[in-house]
């Protein structure tokens, strides 16, 4: 490629990223991933197709261990946008991008999606280019409408659409998929692809939603497919000493100011209240009750609300932090900015509620961003990736020699409560688990002296 062609390509790719509303902060990373891919392509062995080379390239990124899962997902998306959307190369149209992302390990229960939000018309054009029939595309468009009318999260929408689109490509007949097609596809995922149970369940949920809510089946029967192999992995739990060191480092970070201060405070809140990552970043002013000492988690997993304890030692830091955020809120009101995002149809019910202090984010982003569904510029909450990076940095500073993620704080919260003698049902309610069986996993990692001294070597 000549220098002039490279310049044109770079300008075209930058324009595409702008059209797809990739944030200004993230664009350089997309470009860097694409440059690294270009270097690798130049040494591609002769006779190896680009599709096969791409599989090996992403697998190598996964196993070298120097890139985080969200970074690998960014690399996949950059390559897809460049070759599949901008250059419209035939080989890229044959790639199963969903299957390619399936090899990337999940970093968290709430692992962030790196897909770029797209409009319905953009999605329609992309699906037609993938070779889907007009009937299949219209069915997917109807699914988008059902999802958005139902107020489903953007990540849920993206995930469901990807699975149903992949089902349509699996059938290969251009017809709207049937229940039997879905069963065959789910079996294919387990037998041929070797996906884990969680991945197969995601696909199953997408198929059931599509067949029931979009295709209009009164009863959806998806029984009889081959199940993925189950596995039981114990959660990583920090000891109380490790938690003490970690929170000590976080205390120093809170005193330093800046965005790192907010992230460190969020980590403390997550351990103190057993919150998931997204539950923490989505907290609003009205959700914290200082007088009664609890936090209300709104629309948690399963769209359920629950109350969790507010640690007394965090009341002062949280009040100081919210006083600083009030300055940001007042600046937004002075600039007549659009209010924060509101759940469900609350924008129509109370049009000005999003401009009220009680609905403001406790952990707002320092910069304004574009709402991918309405194209309105508003202030969103901080991005969870920054919180995850802060957790990694602080755990290294605390000398914790474990694979530590933000979700480990939730595991530690539950385990330490059980060690203190709290009953399993109470812990279940605080965690928001649907079944007590999910909570029972923490009984296997309790620091029980009678269990830990049971080695026969200690008896010699």
Given the residues 33, 276, 321, 411, the one annotated as active site: 276
160 is catalytic: no
More confident residue, 146 or 344: 146
Q: What percent of the chain has pLDDT over 90?
A: 31
Burial of 155 (0-12, 13-18, 19+ CB in 10 A): middle
Given the residues 27, 301, 380, 393, the one annotated as active site: 301
Q: Global pTM?
A: 0.63
301 is catalytic: yes
What's the mean per-residue pLDDT of the chain? 83
| Candidate from 54-58, 218-222, 254-258 with smallest mean pLDDT | 254-258
More confident residue, 317 or 149: 317
pLDDT of residue 260: 79
442 is catalytic: yes
pLDDT of residue 108: 36
Given the residues 33, 407, 411, 416, the one annotated as active site: 407
83 is catalytic: no
129 is catalytic: no
33 is catalytic: no
pLDDT of residue 441: 85
Give tens-digit pLDDT for 85-131: 888 888 888 887 876 776 676 543 333 333 344 567 777 877 888 88
pLDDT of residue 348: 73
Q: Average of pLDDT values for 62-76?
A: 76
């Amino acid at each position: 490629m000549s220098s002039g062609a490279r310049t044109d390509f770079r300008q075209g790719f930058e324009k595409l990223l702008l059209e797809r509303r990739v944030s200004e902060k993230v664009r350089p990373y997309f470009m860097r991933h694409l440059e690294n891919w270009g270097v690798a392509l130049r040494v591609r062995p002769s006779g190896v197709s680009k599709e096969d080379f791409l599989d090996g390239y992403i697998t190598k990124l996964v196993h070298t261990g120097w890139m985080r899962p969200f970074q690998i997902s960014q690399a996949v998306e950059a390559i897809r946008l460049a070759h599949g959307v901008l250059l419209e190369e035939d080989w890229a149209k044959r790639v199963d991008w969903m299957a390619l992302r399936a090899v990337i390990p999940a970093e968290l229960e709430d692992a962030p999606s790196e897909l770029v939000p797209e409009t319905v018309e953009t999605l329609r054009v992309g699906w037609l280019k993938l070779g889907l029939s007009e009937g299949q595309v219209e069915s997917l468009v109807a699914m988008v409408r059902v999802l958005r009318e139902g107020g489903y999260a953007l990540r849920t929408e993206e995930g469901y659409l990807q699975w149903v689109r992949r089902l349509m490509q699996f059938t290969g007949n251009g017809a709207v998929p049937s229940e039997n097609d879905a069963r065959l596809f789910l079996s294919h995922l387990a037998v041929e692809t070797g996906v884990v149970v969680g991945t197969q369940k995601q696909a199953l949920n997408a198929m059931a939603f599509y067949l029931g809510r979009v295709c209009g089946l009164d009863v959806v029967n998806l029984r009889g497919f081959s199940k993925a192999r189950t596995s039981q992995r114990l959660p990583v739990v920090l000891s109380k000493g490790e938690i003490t060191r970690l929170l000590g480092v976080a205390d120093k970070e809170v005193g330093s100011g800046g965005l790192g201060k907010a992230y460190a405070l969020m980590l403390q809140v997550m351990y103190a209240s057993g919150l998931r990552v997204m539950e923490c970043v989505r907290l609003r002013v009205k959700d914290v009750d200082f007088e009664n000492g609890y936090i209300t988690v709104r629309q948690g997993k399963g769209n359920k609300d629950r109350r969790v304890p507010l640690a007394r030692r965090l009341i002062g830091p949280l009040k100081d932090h919210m006083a600083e955020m009030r300055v940001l809120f007042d600046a937004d009101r002075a600039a007549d900015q659009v209010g924060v995002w509101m759940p469900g149809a609350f924008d129509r019910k109370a049009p000005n509620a999003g401009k009220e202090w009680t609905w403001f984010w406790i952990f707002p982003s320092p910069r304004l961003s574009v709402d991918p569904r309405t194209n309105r510029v508003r202030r969103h909450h901080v991005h969870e990736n920054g919180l995850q990076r802060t957790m990694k940095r602080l755990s290294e500073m605390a000398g914790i020699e474990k694979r530590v993620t933000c979700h480990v704080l939730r595991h530690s919260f539950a385990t330490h409560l059980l060690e203190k003698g709290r009953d399993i049902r109470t812990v279940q309610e605080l965690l928001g688990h649907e079944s007590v069986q999910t909570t029972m996993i923490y009984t296997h990692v309790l620091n029980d002296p009678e269990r830990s001294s049971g080695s026969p070597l200690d008896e010699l």
